Chain A
Amino acid sequence: MSLLEIEDLEVHFPIRRGILLERTVGRVRAVDGVSLSVAAGTTYGLVGESGCGKTTLGRAVLRLVDVTAGQVRLGGVDLAGLGAEELRRSRRRVQMVFQDPLGSLDPRQNVESLLMEGLEVHGLGAGRAERRARVADALEAVGLSARALPRYPHEFSGGQRQRIGIARALVLAPDLIVCDEPVSALDVSIQAQVLNLLEELQRERGLAYLVIAHDLAVVRHVSDTVGVMYLGALVEEAPGAGLYAGPLHPYTRSLISAVPVPDPAVEDGRRRILLQGDLPSPADPPPGCRFHTRCPWRQEERCATDRPELRTVAEGHKVACHYAESIAAGEIRPNPPG
């Protein structure tokens, strides 16, 4: 049994119209049938573009949004079935690190108060002295000294703030940390510091991560398993190492081809698979394969009518495409754009 198991998760948001009598006129299918699991001590990276539902999925893991259908099981217990008090207790085990450290740290609380709050809420640590020791330990683990304790978030740089956000999660000794775009607000030289820190903490403390990000290079660097999301569903799941070498889903292929590599020698030899148009609306997803409206390998049969299941094609490698094997074998050529 994995630490975190997500099964057929659906999170839909109602679209309401009218002022007095709010009628529900449609539903945004932010997450529409996702299953994945994260084993203890490993990292699952979820990558996708804006609007693909990756952030909503991350929030559903902490039950910060209501789950429409499906299950989120932490250590075998379905979070959706928990009452308020049990849910609160289970949240100690799952913590979150947000994209914008300034927006997720209360500007009027100093670092000590920010880190103590969680311990007090969860009644951890016997007495103030032990709590302080835990706070000091978490701060040290993220590379900050005790001098940071009386200071306020605005006194820190972006990278340091993200370290405080990580320390806040760490102090509760969680099993899993959901990191939603943990480095995208940071400069590249600082990004690397934070990514290395996350890896180091995992090695030392056996943490599991669900890393959610739009940057495929970042996700692949930190993840044991990478899941690619498109319009509310997983289209491919593969070991981090194998994804660049052998992507199977057309969307993954175009995503990989679009990520710039900081090396002109590589860039000159690459061929971009340019997608046509924009992401369709998740309130009105296309029938059949959700990617078929933009897919360069689209076929006349099945693509527009049958929704492909995520199926296992090799050890640890899953793909949701009717024609993945034929495309990989070169039997189906991409259609000319236009």
Chain B
Amino acid sequence: MTRSPLLDVDELSVAFTRRRRRDVQAVDRISFSLREGRITGLVGESGCGKSVTSLALMGLLPARGVRVGGTARFRLGGGDEVDLLALPAARLRDLRGSEIAMVFQDPLSSLNPVVPIGRQVAEVLTRHRGLKGAAARGQAAELLARVGIPDPGRRLREYPHELSGGMRQRALIAMAVACRPRLLIADEPTTALDVTIQAQILELLAGLVAEEGTALLMITHDLGVVAGLCDEINVLYSGRTVEGAARHELFAAPTHPYTAGLLGSIPRLDAPRDEPLTPIRGTVDDAIGWDDGCAFAPRCDRFAEDCLGGPPPMRERRAGHRFRCLHPTEPAPGEESEGR
């Protein structure tokens, strides 16, 4: 596609400041871009900064005690560009729910427990599209049907606790897509769901992207989910992107030892049963600051002295495949294998 990206995130940083203690650098100069009709994955384990990234883009971080840096240029429906990180709160409120929407992990705590589903969906339509009364209700019922909720007329009058987990997540997606957003951020949207329900929800999201041309940012810890869904995948570790590539490229040639380590840690349903898992040793708590070297170094099997000589630069394996490692598991084309 020759058009500019819908969202271009450049060196996004988020630090939580603490009194008399060192700041916590949750996100450390992350860059990626999203395009219409494409699904981009942010993958990583707890504490890698994937959720903080989404909250920063949505302007949902607390105003105090947080330092946000970098830019996130978003192309509006009219063609103008705005920096989401620098937008006044009132402008951002207009964008949230209309042009940009978000789906969270736990639908029960994202929905208001004392308001019927229908009114919560209609609220979005009233706020952003000025629909009222019967028009808003009718549209809400259509949206529920669109996300596969049977008998939407009855469901509109029900409260969140009367719906199953999968139905609640569908209702949340209905609210998110109510105003046909051009960017949808989904933060672990299926983690709380059973696997057969997860399959239904992923199918629904992929369908929305294909039909509406929405750009989807998929945040998850599950490499299995991104393998089937995402076009582009970024792997995060300790606040930084350690590897980014197109889906097939990443899984065929995992280049950062962390990516390779994750893949070796997951039991695969289609693997011979006796194939042993090769875990990554240590825990994420062992990470060192990126300024001192590679944060993954203390857990890495390919560790060498130079890993502690400052932050490793992002390098390119081939066009579109970036990695941040001095001793990658797969030698870059034209580079000799280091024979270790």
Interface residues, chain A, with chain B CB atoms under 8 Å away? 49-50, 157, 159-160, 187-193, 195-196, 214-218, 220-221, 240-241, 244, 254-268, 270, 272, 274-275, 277-279
Contact = CB atoms under 8 A, between A and B. Distances in A.
B273 A261 contact: no
B135 interface: no
Interface stretch (B59-67, B115-123, B257-265, B311-319): B257-265
B277 interface: yes
A290 B194 CA distance: 18
A264 B251 contact: yes
Interface stretch (B93-101, B179-187, B195-203, B326-334): B195-203
B164 interface: yes
A189 B280 contact: yes
B295 to A, nearest CB: 14
Contacts of B223: 188, 262
A204 to B, nearest CB: 16
Nearest to B286: A157
Task: Give the one of A50, A217, A241, A260 with max B CB within 10 A.
Answer: A260
A190 B248 contact: no
For the residues of A in contact with B, the DSSP-based class is: helix
Contacts of A49: 194-197
Given A189-B45, A214-B195, A217-B267, 13 more contacts: A49-B196, A157-B283, A189-B280, A192-B277, A192-B280, A216-B269, A217-B268, A220-B269, A260-B225, A264-B228, A272-B199, A275-B200, A278-B167
B196 A254 contact: yes
A239 to B, nearest CB: 9
B63 to A, nearest CB: 30
Given A216-B195, A274-B199, A278-B164, A265 B251 contact: yes
A261 B268 contact: yes
Contact of B45 (A188, A254, A257): A188
Contacts of A256: 269
B276 interface: yes
6 contacts: A49-B195, A50-B194, A157-B285, A218-B267, A261-B227, A262-B224
A297 B251 CA distance: 34
Given A189-B280, A196-B279, A241-B273, A214 B225 contact: no
B278 interface: yes
Task: Give the one of A196, A259, A261, A263 with max B CB within 10 A.
Answer: A263
B222 interface: yes
Given A263-B268, A264-B227, A264-B248, A187 B195 contact: no
For the residues of B in contact with A, the DSSP-based class is: helix
Contacts of B200: 274-275
B276 to A, nearest CB: 7
Contacts of A218: 267
A197 B92 CA distance: 49
Task: Give the one of B203, B221, B251, B283 with max A CB within 10 A.
Answer: B283
A135 to B, nearest CB: 23
Contacts of A192: 264-267, 277-280
Counting from the closest, the 8 A-B pairs by CB-CB distance are: A260-B224, A192-B279, A221-B267, A267-B228, A192-B265, A258-B199, A49-B194, A189-B280
B46 interface: yes
Nearest to A195: B277
B150 interface: yes
A260 B222 contact: yes
Contact of B227 (A50, A157, A263): A263
A290 to B, nearest CB: 15
A244 B269 CA distance: 7
Contacts of B263: 262
B284 A187 contact: yes
B152 to A, nearest CB: 14
Contacts of B199: 257-258, 272, 274
B239 interface: no
Contacts of A159: 283
Nearest to A245: B270
B267 A195 contact: yes
B273 A221 contact: yes
